Amino acid sequence: DTAVSQTPKYLVTQMGNDKSIKCEQNLGHDTMYWYKQDSKKFLKIMFSYNNKELIINETVPNRFSPKSPDKAHLNLHINSLELGDSAVYFCASSLGTRDTGELFFGEGSRLTVL
C-alpha cells in the first residue's frame, strides 16, 4: 500500500494546455507539499498545505494552483503550460508543520511540455 501516491506518473502535453497532477497520502498526515525537480536535478519547494490551508507559496507563478479538497489530498493544476514547466513534480507529506520527523515523498510525476 503506497503511502504517498501521485497520478499520472508521466504526462506529455503541448504548450498552452492545462493539466493536473493528483496526490494522495494514506498516512493520516496533516501537512502536504509540492516540490519541483528541474533538469539540473535541483529540488525546489513550491507549496505546502496544512489541514487544507495554504501555508507556503514560494513565489510560484499563478498559473500553478494547488487544491486540497481534504487533508489527504493535494492536487496541482497548471494552466497555460510553458516549456519551462517540464520537470518532475514530487508530492510529499509530513505529520505536521511543527513536527521534527521525516517527509514522505511520492515517486514523482514527470511532466514534458512540447
Partner 1 sequence: DAKTTQPNSMESNEEEPVHLPCNHSTISGTDYIHWYRQLPSQGPEYVIHGLTSNVNNRMASLAIAEDRKSSTLILHRATLRDAAVYYCILRDNNQGGKLIFGQGTELSVKP
Question: What strands, in cross-sheet order, belong to the sheet with 4-7?
Answer: 4-7, 19-25, 73-78, 64-70
| Nearer of residues 3 and 114 to partner 1, judged by Cβ | 3
- State how far the Cα of 56 lies from the Cα of 71, in Å rounded to an integer: 15
One of 80, 82, 96, 114 touching partner 1 (CB under 8 A): 96
| Nearer of residues 29 and 81 to partner 1, judged by Cβ | 29
User: Chain centroid to CA 47: how far?
Assistant: 7
| Nearer of residues 14 and 98 to partner 1, judged by Cβ | 98
Under rule CB under 8 A, how many of the chain's residues touch partner 1?
Answer: 29
